[in-house]
Amino acid sequence: MIADPSLPADVELAALAAAVVEACVARGLTIATAESCTGGLVGHLLTDVPGASMCYLGGVISYANALKEGLLGVDGHLLVVHGAVSGEVAAAMAEGARRRIGTDISVAVTGIAGPDGGTAAKPVGLTYIACAGVAGTVVHERRWTGDRRANKRASAGDALAMALAAADATGRRAAY
């Protein structure tokens, strides 16, 4: 049971990650991550699952904006116009990771984990989570209300749930 949806328990995050690995491996799908505010947590959760190397190829922790451009190929124009914490940049991060790492599915997270960095327009907790797959890209806007650690974990849970949905919606790869 999750009392506060913004604070998933470690055991629930672990179960979600295991479900993502299982769903990907069952279908012969590969997955990548592109993380800003979660800082590697999604990759960490996936790689706690034995056998994750059968589907998880890796990812980029693009904490600084320069890495969003340099390592993920996010258009600098998007960063200027929409800001790093935006649905447009989340989608571009996911699509860049999927293209550069060459996977079937990718998830991306960009947000303001706190306690600093918030503004009136973009408060602490505002987070965009994107999942790119064979059917296109989906973006969630979330406004978490926890502290830094809770917001990171809530975002990771959301990213894993989106990856699971994308895997479940994808047919078995023709190549397998």
52 binds a copy of itself (CB under 8 A): yes
CA separation for the pair 1, 29 (Å, rounded): 30
Number of alpha helices (DSSP H) and beta strands (DSSP E) in the chain: 6, 5
Closest contact distance (angstroms) between CB of 45 and a copy of itself is 8
| Extended strands (E) in the chain | 31-35, 56-61, 105-111, 126-133, 136-143
Q: Which residues 81-120 are close enough to bind a copy of itself by CB under 8 A? A: 100-102, 113-117
Handedness of CA 137, 138, 141, 146 (dihedral sign): negative
56 binds a copy of itself (CB under 8 A): yes
User: How wide is the angle at C-alpha 73 spanned by C-alphas 118 and 88, nearest 5°?
Assistant: 45
51 binds a copy of itself (CB under 8 A): yes
Q: Which residues 9-48 are close enough to bind a copy of itself by CB under 8 A? A: 33, 35, 37-44, 46-48
Closest contact distance (angstroms) between CB of 169 and a copy of itself is 24
DSSP 8-class letter at 48:
T
Residues that bind a copy of itself (CB under 8 A): 33, 35, 37-44, 46-48, 50-53, 56-64, 66-67, 70-71, 100-102, 113-117, 148-149, 152
